[in-house]
Structure 1
Amino acid sequence: MIKYLLAVLICCSSIFYSYSQTQAFKIFDKEGNEVSFEMMAESAGQHELVFFGELHNNSIVHWLQLRLLKELHRQNRPVILAGEFFERDDQINIVEWFSGKMTDKTFESESKLWNNYLTDYKPLMLYAKNNSIPFFATNIPRKYASLVSREGLGSLESLGPDAKNYFPPLPIEVDKSLPGYVGMKDMMHGSGMNVDYMVEAQAVKDATMAYSLHGHLKGNTVLHINGSYHSNNYEGIVWYIQKDYPETSIMTINTVEQEDIQVLEEKSKNTADFIIVIPNDGPKSY
């Protein structure tokens, strides 16, 4: 009898393990309690600013972003889409494409697209375009971030007035004691690069994305798409928003990969209001 029960338990465990390994994702709150997508979406609709921190190449997460955008659109509160995946100097192309003055082909040839735009970001853009949801590019043009990585934040002072329209007014404050920036410096130690300049390049991206959102906060839910490292632990873009607009209601989402998605790992708890867990071997676009 004992051998029979043991065999049944082993069989049930195998079935459960097999089922758990075919689940595409799980969502947890910051304490590690499992929640539904619908609960996360309902919470998002109650905030002015929602940072959806992604792993750039994770296809499941991009599908969840589209689902969240659709759910927010279904709610009564006005919704705006914004994202790191377009730079601010592409905004005119986006406006012209959204208004029908530019074809898909022309828009995609004229704009600086990420290599997974067609598979991962275009569905978001098309849904926004087709449903009259405004989209705002928030990232600093890469040539200016690259300049900072080589010469530091002070190098932006030498640029002309037109260039300065694409990032916040100077000087830009950087708190290099923030754990995320400290961790970045530690990780790059011994690389041969100027780690202070690299942190400043990261910070100018964070500051620019925050600055790009300033005019769109009141009365809307802004869904902002960005790499998780730009909003994890309520640092990065969130730090700049809270510095300038401390009354803004903010919700953050982090994305992590785990071998076993059934329980949130301790290291990921409290990194965001909601944490999406994806299997390590989940589909990737590159």
Structure 2
Amino acid sequence: MFHLLKWVGLFGFLALVLPVVAEEEIATFKVWNSKTKSYGNVSEILLQAEGYDVVIWGEEHDDAEGHKAQLDFFKKFTFGFPKVTLSLEMLEKDQQLILDEYVKNIIPERQLLSGSSHWKNFASDYFPLVKHAKESSSFVVCANPPRRYVNAVARKGMNAYSDFSNEVHHWIPEAHTLGQNISPVYQIKLSSMFQVDHSQDPKVSSNMPSPENMILAQFMWDQGMAESISREVYRSGRKVLHLNGRFHSDDEGGVAYRLKKMGHKVLVLSVFPEGKEEEGNFSKLGDFVILTKSR
């Protein structure tokens, strides 16, 4: 198969193979190309991805059809690009060791799933991606900073950094990077999200992290993931497919914007259920919008 890929080239190979499944893809979801302002199919995404370091799949975490679509897309991605890395917001950096042990067949599946805490839908919605990565000899990156340190920043702001041991800095971005490479659009979104008026309930107000610290915590997620992805691009030279909640990547979101400022070519996909779209705003969400459809 790889001799065929070498012979016809990636573009010719994808053009030969992918249209065969286009009808099935369109039956379950629709693909909007923001550049052409028209509907197309997954083959267009894969053809365009050839010229990019990173492809971001921005999801809604509870979109059941979206999870099916992303596994299908990842299988096509590994078929079209033999050397790729899967990067996941859903796994934290200090889980990398146990993840690598699973990929290298040192530990079985049950120990990976029970050996550390995971999102409640990890086994059903994200583990199939990890399993396919293993089967296709793809690398997997646990992209997110550990939640406990991000929570500390949400509570204490930058003062939390003075509490962290030297070992912790292996898992988190340096403090000075949190406020760098932020798009004005994203800053406005975050300010709007976290500026909640608790003036009528002082008890709640005293127990809630300040909006400023909540925004810093969001920056920590974004910078941490961007650094993980960038490091992998330079380390392995592989094309990276990164999965995160679409707030991190839609419309100059934190991860996508930071990666671009780091010098990477980033293709952004925004994926969510049909019926939630805002007519006329597709081009602002990403390079492609995938509208999943209920069966």
Q: TM-score, normalised by structure 1?
A: 0.82
Residue pair 1:50, 1:223 contacting (<8 A) in 2 also:
yes
Task: Find the residue that maps to 1:152 and give its secondary structure.
Answer: helix
Measure, in 2, the Cα distance between the counterparts of 1:57 and 1:122.
15
- Post-superposition shift, 1:273? 0.3
Query: Which protein is richer in helix relative to its size?
Result: 2
Check the 8 A contact 1:27/1:37 in 2, yes or no.
Answer: yes
Contact kept in structure 1, 2:158 and 2:175, CA below 8 Å: no
Match of 1:120 in 2: 125
Question: Is the partner of 1:266 in helix, strand or coil?
Answer: coil
CA distance 1:186–1:117, change in 2 (3 Å): same
Pick the structure with greater CA Rg.
1
What is the CA–CA distance in structure 1 between the aligned matches of 2:81 and 2:113, rounded to whole Å?
32
For structure 2, list consecutive stretches of 5 or more residues without a partner in the other structure: 1-25, 199-204
Aligned partners of 2:82 and 2:103: how far apart in 1?
21
Q: 1:266 aligned to 2:280?
A: yes
Among 257, 268, 273, the residue aligned to 1:257:
273
**Retained in 2: the 8 A contact 1:77–1:221?**
no
Is residue 2:274 matched to residue 1:230?
no
Matched to 1:249, the amino acid is: K
How many equivalent pairs are there?
A: 256
Change (3 A) 1:103 1:40: same
In the TM superposition, structure 1's runs of 4+ consecutive aligned residues that sit over 6 Å from their partners are none
Show the counterpart of 1:85. Answer: 90
Unaligned runs of 5+ in 1: 1-21
Q: Give distance in 1, aligned partners of 2:255 and 2:241.
A: 13
Go from structure 1 to structure 2 and tell me whether the alpha carbon gap of 1:39 and 1:187 turns closer, same or farther (over 3 Å shift).
Answer: same
- In the alignment, does 2:80 pair up with 1:62? no
The answer on whether the counterparts of 1:206 and 1:230 sit within 8 Å (CA) in structure 2 is yes
Give the match for residue 239 of structure 1.
257
Aligned partners of 1:90 and 1:112 also within 8 Å = no
Report sequence identity in percent.
24
Provide, for residues 146-197 of structure 1, a one-character-per-residue CA deviation record: whole Å limited to 9, x for no partner: 1111111331232001111001233223256632232222233215441111
Report the RMSD for the aligned CA atoms in angstroms: 2.1
Mapped to 1, the partners of 2:61 and 2:49 lie a distance apart of: 21
For 1:278 and 1:67, the matched residues in 2 are separated by 13
1:30 corresponds to which of 25, 34, 40: 34
Return closer, same or farther for 1:177/1:249 CA change in 2, 3 Å cut-off: closer
Q: Distance in 2 between matches of 1:260 and 1:153?
A: 37
Q: Contact 1:234–1:252 (CA<8 Å) still a contact in 2?
A: no
